[in-house]
């Protein structure tokens, strides 16, 4: 199928499909980026949760150590601290 232009030149229909293909490829790239960003966001949320747990663990350890060092703590608490 050929199209005839008013200027006398003719262009095949395949050449007219090239811009559509380029747009389609760009859209596919964009979808890949969106999908990857969702995956990264999910991983980031999981890491934040793990970091919070670690931070709470260390805060609890520090608090127990302070209590044990002050002598006001239970013997079981100070034994747990030094057993770790």
Give me the pLDDT at residue 62, please.
87
pLDDT at position 8, please?
Answer: 54
- Let me know if 77 is exposed, middle or buried by CB neighbors in 10 A (0-12, 13-18, 19+): middle
pLDDT computed for residue 65 by the predictor: 83
The pTM (predicted TM-score) of the whole model is: 0.41
Block mean pLDDT (10 aa), the chain, length 84: 54 75 92 89 84 87 82 57 51
Longest dimension (CA), the chain: 99
**Any residues with CB less than 8 A from the CB of 16 and at least 6 apart, and which?**
3
Domain ranges of the chain: 2-83
The pLDDT assigned to 29 comes to: 92
Determine the 3-state secondary structure of 4 from DSSP. strand
Burial code (b: 16+ CB inside 10 Å, e: under 16) for 60-73 equals: eeeebeeebeeeeb
């Amino acid at each position: 199928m050929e199209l005839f232009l008013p200027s006398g030149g003719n262009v095949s229909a395949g050449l007219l499909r090239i811009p559509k293909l380029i747009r389609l490829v760009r859209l596919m790239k964009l979808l890949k980026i969106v999908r990857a960003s969702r995956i990264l966001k999910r991983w980031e949320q999981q890491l934040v949760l793990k970091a919070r747990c670690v931070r709470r663990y260390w805060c609890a350890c520090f608090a127990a150590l302070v209590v044990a060092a002050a002598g006001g703590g239970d013997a079981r608490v100070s034994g747990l601290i030094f057993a770790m």
